[in-house]
Structure 1
Amino acid sequence: MTTHTALIVDDEPDIRDLLEITLTRMGIKTLTAQDLTSAFKLLEQHTPQLCLTDMNLPDGNGIELVQWIQQHRPDTPVAVITAYGNMDTAIESLKAGAFDFVSKPVELSRLRELVNSALKLAKPGANNDDTADEPGLLLGNSAQIKKLRNQTRKLARSQAPVFISGESGSGKELVARMIHLQGPRSDKPFVAVNCGAIPSELMESEFFGHKKGSFTGAVENKDGLFRSADGGTLFLDEVADLPLAMQVKLLRAIQEKVVRPVGDTKELPVDIRLLSATHKNLAELVQEGSFRQDLFYRINVIELAVPPLRDRKDDIALLANHILERIAREYECDTATLTQDAIDRLKEHDFPGNVRELENILERAFTLCDAEKISASDLHLGNGLPTEAGNSNDGATASASPALVPEGDIDLEGYLESIERQAIEKALEATRWNKTAAAKKLGISFRALRYRLKKLGME
Structure 2
Amino acid sequence: MSAEAPHVLVVDDEADLRELLVITLGRMKLQATAADSLSTAKQRLKEAHYDLCLTDMNLGDGTGLELLQFISQYCPTMPTAVITAYGSMKTATDAMKYGAYDFIAKPVALDRLRQLIEDGLGINEVEEHHEEEDNLIGDAPSMVALKSQVRKLARSQAPIYISGESGSGKERIARLIHTLGPRREKPFVAVNCGAIPSELMESEFFGHRKGAFTGAVEDRKGLFREADGGTLFLDEVADLPLHMQVKLLRAIQEKSVRPVGEAKEFQVNLRILCATHKNLEDEMEEGRFRQDLFYRLNVIEAHVPPLRERREDIPKLVRHILDRLSQAWEIPPPSVSSDAVNAIGNYAFPGNVRELENTLERALTLCDGNTILPEHLRLPSNRSGLASNRSSTSTSPPPIRPSEQSLEEFLQEIEKQEILKALDTTHWNRTAAAKKLGMTFRSLRYRLKKLELDRDDDETDDNE
Q: Is the 8 A contact 2:132 2:180 kept in 1?
A: no
Q: Alpha carbons of 1:384 and 1:441: their partners in 2 closer, same or farther (altered >3 Å)?
A: closer
Q: Alpha carbons of 1:327 and 1:21: their partners in 2 closer, same or farther (altered >3 Å)?
A: same
Q: Alpha carbons of 1:29 and 1:97: their partners in 2 closer, same or farther (altered >3 Å)?
A: same
Deviations along 1:99-129, one digit per CA (max 9) or x if unpaired, are: 1001122222212222112112213745x9x
Q: Is the 8 A contact 1:9 1:16 kept in 2?
A: yes
Segments of 5+ residues of structure 2 without an aligned counterpart are: 396-412, 460-464
Q: TM-score, normalised by structure 2?
A: 0.87
Q: Is the 8 A contact 2:385 2:438 kept in 1?
A: no
| Structure 1 residues 146-165: aligned runs within 5 Å | 146-165=144-163
Secondary structure of the structure 1 residue equivalent to 2:381: coil
How many Å separate the matches in 1 of 2:186 and 2:132? 23
Secondary structure of the structure 1 residue equivalent to 2:104: strand
Q: Which residue of 2 aligns with 1:25?
A: 27
| Structure 1 residues 122-133: aligned runs within 5 Å | 122-123=124-125, 125-126=127-128, 131=130
**AA at the equivalent of 1:87:** M
Q: Which residue of 2 aligns with 1:357?
A: 355
**AA at the equivalent of 1:69:** I
Q: Which residue of 1 aligns with 2:446?
A: 451
2:311 paired with 1:313:
yes
**AA at the equivalent of 2:219:** N
Segments of 5+ residues of structure 1 without an aligned counterpart are: 399-410, 431-437
CA RMSD of aligned residues (A): 2.7
Q: Which residue of 1 aligns with 2:110?
A: 108
Tell me how far 1:326 sits from its aligned partner: 2.3
Secondary structure of the structure 2 residue equivalent to 1:274: strand
Deviations along 1:195-225, one digit per CA (max 9) or x if unpaired, are: 1101111111111111111110011111111
Tell me how far 1:383 sits from its aligned partner: 2.7
Q: Is the 8 A contact 1:177 1:190 kept in 2?
A: yes
2:7 paired with 1:9:
no
Secondary structure of the structure 2 residue equivalent to 1:178: helix
**AA at the equivalent of 1:426:** N
| Structure 1 residues 270-419: aligned runs within 5 Å | 270-381=268-379, 383=381, 385-388=383-386, 392-393=390-391
2:207 paired with 1:204:
no
How many Å separate the matches in 1 of 2:41 and 2:423? 72
How many Å separate the matches in 1 of 2:381 and 2:420? 30
**AA at the equivalent of 2:54:** L
Q: Which residue of 1 aligns with 2:189?
A: 191
Q: Alpha carbons of 1:454 and 1:200: their partners in 2 closer, same or farther (altered >3 Å)?
A: closer
Aligned length: 435
Q: Is the 8 A contact 2:164 2:276 kept in 1?
A: yes
Secondary structure of the structure 2 residue equivalent to 1:236: strand
2:99 to 91, 97, 100: 97
How many Å separate the matches in 2 of 1:425 and 1:418? 9
Q: Alpha carbons of 1:457 and 1:109: their partners in 2 closer, same or farther (altered >3 Å)?
A: farther
Q: Which residue of 1 aligns with 2:462?
A: none
Tell me how far 1:441 sits from its aligned partner: 7.7
How many Å separate the matches in 2 of 1:384 and 1:225? 44
Q: Which residue of 2 aligns with 1:401?
A: none
How many Å separate the matches in 1 of 2:419 and 2:83? 59
Deviations along 1:142-196, one digit per CA (max 9) or x if unpaired, are: 2221111110110111111111110000000001011111111111111111111
**AA at the equivalent of 1:113:** Q
Q: Is the 8 A contact 1:424 1:442 kept in 2?
A: no
Q: Is the 8 A contact 1:214 1:263 kept in 2?
A: yes
Tell me how far 1:370 sits from its aligned partner: 1.5
Secondary structure of the structure 2 residue equivalent to 1:213: coil
How many Å separate the matches in 2 of 1:278 and 1:43? 40
Q: Which residue of 2 aligns with 1:65?
A: 67
Tell me how far 1:340 sits from its aligned partner: 2.8
How many Å separate the matches in 2 of 1:112 and 1:309? 43
**AA at the equivalent of 2:366:** L
How many Å separate the matches in 2 of 1:70 and 1:424? 70
Q: Is the 8 A contact 1:370 1:446 kept in 2?
A: no
Tell me how far 1:249 sits from its aligned partner: 0.8
**AA at the equivalent of 1:186:** R
Secondary structure of the structure 2 residue equivalent to 1:57: coil
Q: Which residue of 2 aligns with 1:426?
A: 429
Tell me how far 1:134 sits from its aligned partner: 7.5
Identical amino acids, percent of aligned pairs: 56
How many Å separate the matches in 1 of 2:261 and 2:111? 27
Q: Which residue of 2 aligns with 1:228?
A: 226
Q: Which residue of 1 aligns with 2:56?
A: 54
Q: Which residue of 2 aligns with 1:406?
A: none
How many Å separate the matches in 1 of 2:360 and 2:264? 51
Q: Is the 8 A contact 1:331 1:450 kept in 2?
A: no
Q: Is the 8 A contact 1:91 1:301 kept in 2?
A: yes
Tell me how far 1:440 sits from its aligned partner: 5.9
**AA at the equivalent of 1:351:** F
Tell me how far 1:416 sits from its aligned partner: 6.0
Tell me how far 1:366 sits from its aligned partner: 0.8
Q: Alpha carbons of 1:231 and 1:259: their partners in 2 closer, same or farther (altered >3 Å)?
A: same
How many Å separate the matches in 1 of 2:43 and 2:338? 61
Tell me how far 1:412 sits from its aligned partner: 8.1
Deviations along 1:5-61, one digit per CA (max 9) or x if unpaired, are: 110011222212221122122222111101111100100011211000011111111
How many Å separate the matches in 1 of 2:306 and 2:13? 49
Q: Which residue of 2 aligns with 1:435?
A: none
**AA at the equivalent of 2:88:** N
2:139 paired with 1:141:
yes
2:235 to 213, 234, 237: 237
Q: Which residue of 1 aligns with 2:253?
A: 255
